[in-house]
Amino acid sequence: MLSQALILCGGLGTRLGELTAATPKPMLPVAGRPFLDHLIQEVARYGITRIVLLAGRFGEQIVEAFDGKSLYGADIEVLVEPAPLGTGGALAFAAPVLDPEFLLLNGDSWIDADLVRFARAFHDARAAEPGLAAQMLLQQVPDAGRFGSVTLDGHHVRAFLEKSPERAGKPGLINAGVYLLRREIIDLIPSGTACSLEADVLPRLVAAGRVAAVAAPPGSYFIDIGIPETFARVQEELPRVRTRPAIFFDRDGTLNRDAGYTHRVEDLAWMPGAREAVAHANAAGYLVFVVTNQAGVARGHYDEAAILRFHRAMQDELSAVGGHIDAIEWCPHHVDAAVEAYRRDCRRRKPGPGMLEDLLAAWPVDTARSVMIGDTEADMQAAAAAGIRGRRYEGGSVLDLLRQSI
């Protein structure tokens, strides 16, 4: 499963005029938050745990806002290029921190696409063609003339077509600004030299047949904020597109078998239909959250690092069926804790609603259509206190119960 994403934040944003005269384009406010904050949350919900922001002009603003922070389950690092390097040069500048495979996204555009399924498609393609070095996400638009377009031969990219008045008003597939890349492509970029990933690097890989592409599902929401018209539209559209119902799952005894203070990766055993239930909820457009009491930390049986390892294993195994958990909340506290630092009566511990309330505050959730699925009365009480409909899991297929609940 992929762990790393890079977001390009170095564009000048000249078409936005005064809006970007003293502000990086990704830091412009959308619905009361920087556009970049929305994008980080969207990337992190697919299980990405490390995000690198590649900043340029006014990069100190991005450093101040995000560098060294942990947001939505991801650790954020900001790199500021010493001079304008272009998309390819910025990528080479980040070479020392790159994983063997990583996502790369434009910091000024948004597409509603499942990044876990995008990554699976690349891994499946590479199993048949190990020489593939890149995969692009494409979007069908009614007017490809403004963006330039991409032509395909099967799942291979065949050519990039520049913007052209002749194609104005004509539909086509365009580059959505999301890539899955192998680190080896850095060898094609001269160190310290300004160059374009799209113009100088990808065409060479395309000519060698090493670039695959996946089209986003028809009707997927796509927008870039690079012109005043779209920046105005995104203020209303993005909050509406992002708001969706959620499934809140209990963990032990609902998604996985309860082994008693379950925390070892080797003890991860899924309940019947649980992984499929998560993937089904993802495909149906629901956010998927896990809220779990973890008093084993308070009692000294394990530490919070063990919880993180267990959750990473869950995400890894879910990715094999095309699923993911958007966010996981746990409460390590208990009034009778053996470890003093965790001894307290915490509102986040179920039946308290605190974990659900924190998720509702942080994520754009349609509460009226959301459901909590758990195996205990405490789960049902927590759901009721948070204003969420509860469904009790009493054995059998978690997938069947989910289908009956949404």
CA atoms within a 13 Å half-sphere pointing along the CA-CB vector of 65: 19
Rounded to 5°, angle at Cα 198 from 141 and 128: 85
Choose the catalytic residue: 37, 200, 250, 326: 250
Q: How far apart are alpha carbons 239 and 42 in whole angstroms?
A: 12
Query: Which residues contact residue 189 at a Cβ distance below 8 angstroms, ignoring those fewer than 6 apart?
Result: 88, 89, 91, 92, 195, 200, 201
Residue 366 CB: number of other CB atoms within 10 A? 12
Q: How far apart are alpha carbons 398 and 394 in whole angstroms?
A: 9
CA dihedral 363, 367, 370, 371 (to 10 degrees): 100
Angle between the N-to-C axes of helices 274-283 and 304-319, in degrees from 0 to 180, rounded to the nearest 10: 70
Choose the catalytic residue: 252, 326, 375, 379: 252
Query: Which residues contact residue 32 at a Cβ distance below 8 angstroms, ignoring those fewer than 6 apart?
Result: none
Instruction: Name residue, tokens 């609940």.
Output: 405
Instruction: Name residue, tokens 């530490």.
Output: 303
358 given a catalytic annotation? no
124 given a catalytic annotation? no
- Is 338 in contact with 297 (CB distance < 8 Å)? no
Residue 279 CB: number of other CB atoms within 10 A? 22
Question: H or E stretch including 399?
Answer: helix 398-405
- Is 134 in contact with 202 (CB distance < 8 Å)? yes
DSSP tag of 201: I
Q: How far apart are alpha carbons 362 and 287 in whole angstroms?
A: 12
- Is 48 in contact with 303 (CB distance < 8 Å)? no
Nearest-CA neighbor of 358 among 238, 246, 278, 239?
Answer: 246
DSSP tag of 338: S
Residues catalogued as catalytic: 250, 252
